[in-house]
Chains A and B, each alone.
Chain A
Amino acid sequence: MARYIEDVFKDVPYDDVLLKFERELIEEWKQTRARVEKAGLADEAVVFDLFLSMHPDPHAEYAAFRAAELKKRREKKLHVFLVRSTPVYYILMAAVYLAVSFLTRNWRQSWLIIIGFVTAWVDTVGVLLVFEIASKRRLFHPIARIILGLSVMMTTVLVYLVGLMLFEIPRFWVVFPAGVFLMYCVDAVFAYRTGQKLRIINYLIYVPAAAPMVYVVLAGLYLIPWHPGWLIVPLSVVIDVLIIVGKAIENGKYRYRPDGEDEA
């Protein structure tokens, strides 16, 4: 088998990826042979042909293996970088915090640097985790959604603290309902991007749930009056109805009538 594999890939540039692929093939061959022999197959030539038939296009298989392996290696590099850079990052954070604090003697506000650094780190790791989890089975997707929600809320807290401590913006509390609104938006995007089934139900819930947040933010910033601005909330129900009608119209375009009245 080793000779056969070497012969098949003799024209392919040799590197550690090819070596790994060949080793995996050899291992699979050993396992297949052991398995079929245990099942009662004694004809060596048939075992050999059987294995070959399971790999009808070894070059295409290798191309897919190579792409997956290189992607895995890139991800591994990123993980190693994250692990190694984390202590450096936090030392840097401490250094910046202490330097700024000692130089400016503004200890009252300099602690925001720590919050900023920690939030940036948590968000980065969170987003990477979300990408990784999203590629796994749907069973794990709720974890990704919780991470996304937490990241949004942590960022909201940071923005609020910065606004409050550095700029003393009046009515800056509005970032909290804005954060909740953003959380709904991010979750809706996640559901869309991962092709979640029945995500329309999520949207129909999120619209009326997000409407009070929009109302509070806009009214809190005096962009709309509190009265009749509250109409945004019942308006969200109208938006829901419009979504349902829109979806029904879209589905209607693809409704099939067996009697020949189908429309496309």
Chain B
Amino acid sequence: MKLKLKAELWDKMHYLFRDFNDRMVHLALYYDYHIDIEKLKTVLICFFEKAPVLHSSFVDTKIAAYWEVREYHIDDVLTAAYPDDPEAAVDEFLTQYIPPESDIQMKAAVFYHDGKSVLCIVENHMCMDGGDFKSFINALCGAYTKYDLEGISPVELRTGTREYSSVYGDYSYTEQRMAKNLYRNVCAKDDHRFPLTRESVRDVSFISRRTIPAFKFDKIKSAGKRRGATVNDMLLTAYFYSLYELAGYDKTESVTISCAVDLRRHIKDNSGAGFTNQTAFMQCAVPERGGDIFETLVYVTASSERYKKDKFMGLYGLPLLNLGYSVLPQAVSEEVIKIGYSNPLLAMSNIGVLDEKALALSGNEPTGGFMTGAVKYKPYALLSATTLRKQITLSMCVRGNEEDRGIVERFFDLMEKNLDVLAGSE
């Protein structure tokens, strides 16, 4: 008898997002070290056993949806190659798409070049979000190191519930009732879009990225601190301002960007939970561009402060989604949710810091790397940001053409310029 796993709320929601993005989460880590592929295979098999959703196929019967655990071979998961152009190989690998019906939901590759290695992983967002993907990769690197250096079996991976309702677990009865009463549609209602070209059948997926040098990180951070803003606020402000410049929005227009919120902030101890999605969006809006970027920063800080004061930040709309999925058959619930749901045209996901110490393989810390969200289909756009060794990597995954690539590069130029202004370099 085939083993079935429950499809959780967020699994189904990300499945519904198939019209807006390819649902892949991407990671690349660069090492001045030769990764032992056989040892990495052992670690991955153990982790796949502990998180069976990674070797499961998503089944949608229209009445219900669930995961069906499938057999696999590690060679289908992990590949090794010696490309002449490692960057091209990384790009090609990362822009692949894993269908949810596939037997495996995560693929990895190691590219060797000049005694160095690049570890690339692509996984289905339906299985876990960026927050848990970071935990997963930290555990993977830690287990690899212990296995390689000490011979300790790589079996330490947290397991447990994947339910969305874990976010309510640490609340009192009254707070739970309050949070579960937040039946509110929190979708973005802003028509401003990233100025990409029209969709075409010739479009292909690509990942554009720009790394902000490490020496600028402290400047951005301290400049933000002086103005009561976080690094996230600074990035978001640069995003807003660059968009006004790039897309030519009227400076009196109000613009909204949806920002990813890690709902694990509501969970005190996540050690008993399985790998899953716990991410929602908050709508950060500026009423106008403002006279200069510092005025935009004031608007952004005020907007994010308003959210931070809210003790149920990000929990709005969850009861409504849960109701939709639990009382209606899968196909009907999707149609009903689609009526009320509008995917944000502009979004940002600050995945945060990638801890180089936790990501070390046998004592070799990564020299660079990034994690980024799904490839968005036009007109939707998502800016992802990760920080490793104080280097902020901005990335945008787009299904587009060369012109779109140029537009995104221009956007990154503006982002860099505006971050410099914010940090006081200009």
Interface string of B72-105 (1 = CB under 8 A from A): 1111000000000000000000000000000000
A84 to chain B, nearest CB (A): 30
Q: Does A30 contact B (CB under 8 A)?
A: no
B contact residues around A49 at 8 Å (CB): 153, 155
Q: Does B149 contact A (CB under 8 A)?
A: no
Report the tally of A-B residue pairs with Cβ distances under 8 A. Answer: 73
Give the interface SS of chain B, mostly helix, strand, loop or mixed: helix
Alpha-carbon separation in the docked complex, A46 to B152 (Å): 8
Alpha-carbon separation in the docked complex, A7 to B309 (Å): 55
Alpha-carbon separation in the docked complex, A264 to B177 (Å): 9
Alpha-carbon separation in the docked complex, A258 to B46 (Å): 44
Nearest B residue (CB) for A37: B45
* Chain A: number of interface residues, binned into ranges: 20 to 34
* A256 and B312 contact, CB distance less than 8 A: yes
Q: Does A261 contact B (CB under 8 A)?
A: no
Alpha-carbon separation in the docked complex, A198 to B319 (Å): 12
A contact residues around B204 at 8 Å (CB): none
* B49 and A50 contact, CB distance less than 8 A: yes
Q: Does A83 contact B (CB under 8 A)?
A: no
Nearest B residue (CB) for A197: B327
A contact residues around B182 at 8 Å (CB): 256
* A40 and B327 contact, CB distance less than 8 A: no
* A197 and B155 contact, CB distance less than 8 A: no
* A50 and B46 contact, CB distance less than 8 A: yes
Which positions 35-50 of chain A face chain B at CB distance < 8 Å?
35-36, 38-41, 43, 45-46, 48-50
* Residue from A39, A54, A262, A264 having most chain B Cβ neighbours under 10 A: A39
B283 to chain A, nearest CB (A): 13
Q: Does A71 contact B (CB under 8 A)?
A: no
Nearest A residue (CB) for B64: A139
* B42 and A46 contact, CB distance less than 8 A: yes
Q: Does A32 contact B (CB under 8 A)?
A: yes
The residue that A254 contacts in the complex, of B45, B75, B174, with Cβ under 8 A, is B174
The residue that B327 contacts in the complex, of A39, A198, A264, with Cβ under 8 A, is A198
Q: Does A59 contact B (CB under 8 A)?
A: no
Alpha-carbon separation in the docked complex, A139 to B64 (Å): 10
* B181 and A40 contact, CB distance less than 8 A: no
Known interface pairs A197-B326, A251-B181; A258-B310 also in contact (CB < 8 Å): yes
B190 to chain A, nearest CB (A): 20
Q: Does B332 contact A (CB under 8 A)?
A: no
Known interface pairs A40-B41, A256-B182; A45-B310 also in contact (CB < 8 Å): no
Q: Does A255 contact B (CB under 8 A)?
A: yes
Nearest A residue (CB) for B47: A50
* A258 and B42 contact, CB distance less than 8 A: no
The residue that B50 contacts in the complex, of A48, A53, A262, with Cβ under 8 A, is A53
A209 to chain B, nearest CB (A): 21
B contact residues around A36 at 8 Å (CB): 45, 49
Alpha-carbon separation in the docked complex, A36 to B72 (Å): 9
Interface string of A190-221 (1 = CB under 8 A from B): 00000001100000000000000000000000
A227 to chain B, nearest CB (A): 42
* A50 and B327 contact, CB distance less than 8 A: no
Alpha-carbon separation in the docked complex, A52 to B152 (Å): 13
- What are 30 A-to-B residue pairs whose CB atoms are below 8 Å? A32-B49, A39-B48, A39-B71, A39-B74, A40-B41, A41-B46, A41-B74, A46-B42, A46-B147, A46-B153, A46-B155, A49-B153, A49-B155, A50-B49, A50-B50, A50-B153, A53-B50, A53-B155, A139-B64, A197-B327, A198-B323, A254-B174, A254-B178, A255-B178, A255-B181, A256-B181, A256-B312, A258-B309, A260-B309, A264-B174
Interface residues of A (CB under 8 A from B): 32, 35-36, 38-41, 43, 45-46, 48-50, 52-54, 139, 197-198, 251, 254-256, 258, 260, 262, 264
Lowest 3 A-B CB distances belong to which pairs? A49-B153, A40-B74, A53-B155
Interface residues of B (CB under 8 A from A): 41-42, 45-46, 48-50, 64, 71-75, 147, 153-156, 174, 177-179, 181-182, 306, 309-310, 312, 323, 326-327
Known: A40-B75, A255-B178, A255-B181. 11 other contacts (CB 8 A): A35-B49, A36-B45, A41-B46, A45-B153, A50-B153, A139-B64, A198-B323, A251-B181, A256-B179, A256-B312, A264-B178
